[in-house]
Amino acid sequence: MPGDTSLRPYYNHDTFNAGYSVIYKPRVGLIDTETNKEIVSTLSEFLHAGNGSSTFGKVGLNSIAFPRPEQFVSADKKYAYDLELLEYLDLANLQETFKDLVWNFVKNYCKAIFSQPLDIVRLILQVGYFDFSQNAASASTRNSSDKPSHLSSEDELSEEEIDFFQPNTTVTTTKPETRKAPVKVPAREKQNCKVQPVSTHTLDVINAVCANDCALAMVRGINASFIYSTLSHTIKAWITGFVSPFLNIPDPFFLDLTHSTEPAKSLWLSVIACVLTGLILMPLDLIKVHLMLTPIRKRSSPETETNAATQSESELTSSINLRSIRDSLRHYPRSVLFNPPMGITFLTILHQFSTNVFRKSAPYLLFVRYNIDSYLSPALYTTANLVFSITELFLKLPVENWLRKEQVRFLLKPKSREEDEFRVVTIDNPEENLVVEYNGWGKFSHVERGASFWATIQSLRLFSGWRVGVLNIIGYWGYNIFKNTPAMAEERL
């Protein structure tokens, strides 16, 4: 009973304060602890103050006193303060945000600069055809021709017999008239515009590319690669962040499948986001390949010089190969944008699917099947992650090679001025404007007629560039080890 104090003599119901804003007293009602009055009296005073006069005796809506507009304004101000908008307008926070943006930009751009030479080498090995037997033959002839001519003439003279007894007859020699033979100006030899490395090793390909064009050729298309990687991560994060709340799952872009409540949903959301991102950025990917395989310096041959004299100024303007990302995207053909090639579309979907499925599911399988995690066994986890990354490379490498070959085949396809006016997705005169000899199928095939199917597959070299891929994986793996070591040490402490 409320009034019985025999069990708890220290307790007095009327004076005990439990910290509530409203308490209930028997036979009295609800009491406001601040004013020590009933709630009914407080409400009547509020209605009376809101109407400015006594509200009793009125009928209908007039008997209800609505709050004044000043009260709504004060409530809006309170909600505005709850949003913490002032933190976004704080100068110190803006400076920190700007510093973070600049640092991330510099870090990612430097990462793109260091990885761009390897990407160019891999792309050249994927789409190029190289005959190393001709290189060996030319090297042998070069070594034989390097022998000095005066040495060979001395050897021939030493073999002749010397006549020591010669007659003393004076021979009158008449100096013949020397006429200068007309100097025959040789025709300009056809420049070898193709990259011809000594072998498929990375350093040999880099030397061949620099000797063919210039040192800046190793960073061709750097801006396109940087924009592509940045937009790829951004669009994936947007798609997964927008769809994940509707599926009641955490964002799989920032959380591994091992920590997800619904691993299957998270996996399929990641795969779908990756495929959609690849389809959205397909025009930029095609422009990137076009910039990486075309020379920076313009080469001119006698045929192009004579043809250029007959062309009009408008045709010369429209035939310029644009190397600007902004201009290339601005003048991208609408017919190709709204009706992309089916081969490139299918291979893009297959490439994105194969890459993301294996990359996302491998850590989950390690944790579920073998109970290997980055926290429980970090050394074993990093080693297994390296093995899985190399396995993923050899699984996706044939699909990636096929995609690059299909992209170059589309770039080499002749197009009219109506289809591609500014030659954004067209490589005219591939003998001069393509840095490698294309290795594809159909009319671009280098296989003899009647060859077997296995010989045709071998000629395509679908596993070309695996050395560059393994080198890139090992470098990225080592970078992650050095980056995560201080964080893991802090967690252990």
Residues linked to residue 37 through DSSP beta bridges, in sequence order: 32
Q: Which amino acid is at 410?
A: F
In a domain, 256, yes or no: yes
Render each residue's pLDDT in the chain as its tens digit; 493 residues. Answer: 555 555 666 666 666 666 677 777 777 777 777 777 777 666 655 555 555 544 444 454 455 555 555 554 455 555 555 556 666 677 888 888 899 999 999 999 999 999 999 999 999 999 988 877 665 555 555 555 555 555 445 554 455 555 555 555 554 444 445 454 444 444 444 456 788 889 888 899 999 999 888 888 899 999 999 999 999 999 999 999 999 999 999 999 988 888 888 989 999 999 999 999 999 999 999 999 999 999 887 655 544 444 544 454 445 444 455 788 889 999 999 999 999 999 999 999 999 998 888 888 888 888 888 888 878 888 888 888 888 889 889 989 999 999 999 999 999 999 998 888 888 999 988 888 899 988 877 656 666 665 666 666 777 788 888 888 898 888 888 877 777 665 544 444 4
Domain end residue (candidates: 36, 62, 79): 79
Q: What are phi and psi of 38, to 5 degrees?
A: -75, 155
pLDDT of residue 161: 52
The answer to whether 195 and 120 have CB atoms below 8 angstroms apart is no
* C-alpha span between 299 and 52 (Å, rounded): 90
Could you tell me the two tokens for 446? Answer: 């280098």
* C-alpha span between 193 and 308 (Å, rounded): 19
The answer to whether 206 and 218 have CB atoms below 8 angstroms apart is yes
In a domain, 220, yes or no: yes
Q: What pTM, to 2 d.p., does this model score?
A: 0.70
> Would you put residue 230 in left (φ > 0), alpha (ψ -120 to 50) or beta?
alpha
Q: What are phi and psi of 254, to 5 degrees?
A: -110, -5
Which of 227, 225, 226, 207 minimizes the C-alpha distance to 217? 207
Which of 280, 295, 278, 293 minimizes the C-alpha distance to 425? 293
In a domain, 189, yes or no: no
The answer to whether 193 and 431 have CB atoms below 8 angstroms apart is yes
In a domain, 207, yes or no: yes
Number of domains in the chain: 2
The parent domain of residue 53 ranges over 22-79
Pair (63, 206) in one structural domain:
no
* C-alpha span between 67 and 342 (Å, rounded): 65
Q: Is the dihedral of CA 445, 446, 449, 451 positive or negative?
A: negative
Which of 411, 410, 406 minimizes the C-alpha distance to 460? 406
Which burial class, exposed, middle or buried, applies to 183 when counting CB atoms under 10 A from its CB (0-12, 13-18, 19+)? exposed
In a domain, 121, yes or no: no
Domain end residue (candidates: 37, 61, 79): 79
In a domain, 197, yes or no: no
* C-alpha span between 290 and 120 (Å, rounded): 11
Pair (258, 401) in one structural domain:
yes
In a domain, 144, yes or no: no
Domain end residue (candidates: 60, 79, 98): 79
CA distances from 116 to 67, 81, 323 (A): 66, 48, 16
In a domain, 115, yes or no: no
How far out from the chain centre does Cα 11 lie? 71
29: enclosing H helix or E strand: strand 29-32
What contacts 422, CB < 8 A, 6 or more positions away? 318, 320, 322, 327, 331
The answer to whether 113 and 222 have CB atoms below 8 angstroms apart is yes
pLDDT of residue 141: 52
Query: Where residue 223 sits, what CATH number does that domain have?
Result: 1.50.40
The answer to whether 130 and 197 have CB atoms below 8 angstroms apart is yes
